[in-house]
Amino acid sequence: MFAVQEPEAKQIEHHWDRPTGRVNDPWAWLRNRDDPDTIAYLEAENAYSEAWFGERQELVETIFGEIKSRIQETDITAPLKDGPWWYSSRTEEGRNYPIHCRGRSVAEAGNEVLLDENREAEGRDFFSLDAFDVSRDHRLLAWSADFDGGGEKYTLRVRDLTTGTDSPDIVHDVAWCGTAWSHDNSSLFYVTANEAMRPYRVWRHDLGTEQADDTLVFEELDERFYVYIELSRSGEWIIIDSRCKTSSEVLLIPSHEPVHEPLIVRPRADDLEYSVDHWGDRFVILTNLDAEDFRVMTAPLDEPAVWSELVAHQAGRRIVNMEPFNWHLVLHEWSDAQQRLRVLFGDGGERVFDLGSEPHEVEVDANPEWHTETFRYRYQSLTTPITIYEEHVRTGERTMLKQTPVPGVDLSKYLATREWASSHDGTRVPVDLVRHIDTPTDGTAPCLIYGYGSYEASEPPWFSPARLSLLDRGFVWALAHPRGGGELGRRWYLDGKLLHKRNTFLDMIAVTEHVVANNWASPRRVAIRGGSAGGLLVGACTTMRPELFAAVVAEVPFVDVVTTMYDQTLPLTITEWDEWGNPAEEPFASYMLSYSPYDQTTARDYPALLITTGLNDVRVSYHEPAKWIAKLRAIRTNDAPLIMRCEMGAGHAGPSGRYDLWREEARVLAFVVSVV
């Protein structure tokens, strides 16, 4: 019997105006973080969590030790050639953060320290590096960091790499949306956000001047749009990309003329999305113009709005990125719920990289060299750790540059496979599964299913040293690919958003039923896990079908959907309407209310829940999970473990140091092992 008493949140009659009527919300007071009672309640939940995990401390420490033992704490990345230098980063045992280095050869790539994150983080509880942008002449480094976890605002500095010292140039409150150097390295472009945390302004900072003298280059007035900035692959153009979830507009500035007015490639239009890069004597454009899953176009440098087709649209083959080089173009795609790479040659012809049939992730690695016939990429799967390859684009000759070590682990002891579940409407939903070779598939094993399913964010399988602690204890681990992601093309996304959002949750439920029906798991031993919008996913599944699950891990969960989307004073609300709908309008109000986990929590039995949040989270405010757990405690009809951990000094991503992250993961896995 757990001896510590559960926290209890006071209930105050409060009427929150919603488009569906005036609704009593007894826990609305938790929205006020300046109320001492709010902090007291969060601290009480943390104390309860500490006591619960304290009774399982031996298990937490055991799993933490297992995670740590599988990670080579002192390690170095595969050196990367950029001009006359080879760049790398390394980690050292006992230190939380990477050290960024370079050298004149592969062997010397770790010699010259450019930025030691550990040194910059000294004396701080939180440190998160964002920008790390070396100038074209390799003499300067633009770097930015968040030092307090207080809202994803970064301080930007410029370091002289000859002396190793930062210049007086300091820019405050920079957003996470990129930086770009001018051709002569005299100017640096960056982005700032408004009070709603929407990145909307592009600035030019001329080195040696004060931030107050910076030039406003572009301002996005439409509150639905975000602004990003980057340098073209060739280094010849500064690219300003302004987009919402259904439309985009790109502006260009010649990098050798940083004071030039931005040039619009093609004016924005409803439902037209495109991105641009520079490819020798032309621009290359990735667009959904008359192409739901996107096609590739080209345009003359002097007429960027005049597009000609290079790669035709193919339904179900979603082109997500393109990397131009002097002689070729590499496309990153999703095809049949699997990532792949395809290279197109300037003189005609193409080749698809052979990555095997096992469910995998393949991502474009850094490829700073413009004149090259090799391409560098990262591969991993449920059974293969991150591996850096360099492949000759014409011959297919492949060199493994680095595979992340996993000390003490025989990777041949794990098996992965893909299956397809049938959802409520007959749609086939992919699910990837991994287990230890000795785990039986007779319907007795415990299982943890992970899902996300929003924003067209596809979730390729990834390798996790921590996950092995579950697999070695006989768990099956599954990755669901519900609608709302982009694994099967743009239609997969459209069928899981707005007035089709319930498909996401029903797909996850179908995957759960599939793993049970096919003897991957015991019907009484299934847990689900998701974070942010994935927290909404598992929250909605919990309220729709609580009897299916033994446990739920909801990390920074978006669970008070209608109230949050109705409150325009909260960060990011307006930009989210294209994903969820505006609850000030019908039928969105009623539809969102029908799945919002906070609203759909009623008096019934619920599975064991572990909920996490961060007091400084600007993406999913702490009060959403805090209100949800308070309501669950008040009205549920059983006494399964109900735990919430609130990081009082961090935001959406949780703690920043790697050892803190490993320990947090050990707690999550200990929870799952304890209750499933």
Q: What residues act catalytically? A: 532, 617, 652
- The terminus-to-terminus CA distance of the chain in angstroms comes to 17
- Cα dist. 371→102, 327, 406, 650 in Å? 21, 8, 34, 42
Residue 375: strand pairing partners = 391
The Cα 676–Cα 668 span in angstroms is 12
Residues 6 or more apart whose CB falls under 8 angstroms from that of 472 comprise 66, 436
Q: Is the peptide bond before 587 cis (omega within 30 degrees of 0)?
A: yes
CA 85/CA 58 separation, integer angstroms: 47
Q: Hey, is 57 helix, strand or coil? A: helix
Instruction: Name the residue among 403, 384, 398 with its Cα closest to residue 76.
Output: 403
Which among 347, 311, 335, 325 has a CA at the least distance from the CA of 392? Answer: 325
Instruction: Show the tokens assigned to 432.
Output: 């990837």
> Do residues 132 and 115 lie in contact, with contact meaning Cβ atoms separated by under 8 Å?
yes
Contacts of 1 (CB under 8 A, 6+ apart): none
190/179 Cα distance (integer angstroms): 5
* Rounded (to 5) percent helix, strand, coil in the chain: 20, 35, 45
CB 380 within 8 A of CB 387: yes
Angle between helices 588-595 and 502-517 (to 10 degrees): 30
SS3 26: coil
CB atoms inside a 10 Å sphere around CB 208: 11
The DSSP bridge partners found for residue 464 are none
Q: What are phi and psi of 460, to 5 degrees?
A: -75, 155
Contact by Cβ (8 Å): 595, 540 = yes
For 274, the token pair is 């495109």
Structure tokens at 592: 């969102």
**CA distance linking residue 589 with residue 597, whole number of Å:** 14
Query: CA quadruple 445, 446, 448, 449: dihedral positive or negative?
Result: positive
CB 532 within 8 A of CB 620: yes
CA 599 to chain centre: 27
Q: Are 570 and 621 in contact (CB under 8 A)?
A: yes
Q: In which order are the strands placed within the sheet that holds 180-181?
A: 180-181, 187-193, 199-206, 215-219
Distance CA 136, CA 102 (A): 15
- Which amino acid, 322? M
Cβ proximity of 129 and 117 under 8 Å: yes
CA 539 vs CA 9, 530, 535, 557: distances in Å: 20, 9, 6, 8
The SS3 of residue 115 is strand
Q: Phi, psi at residue 482, to the nearest 5°?
A: -75, 160
| Angle at alpha carbon of residue 550, lines to 548 and 553, rounded to 5° | 105
CB 126, CB 650: distance < 8 Å: yes
Place of tokens 């004060």: 210
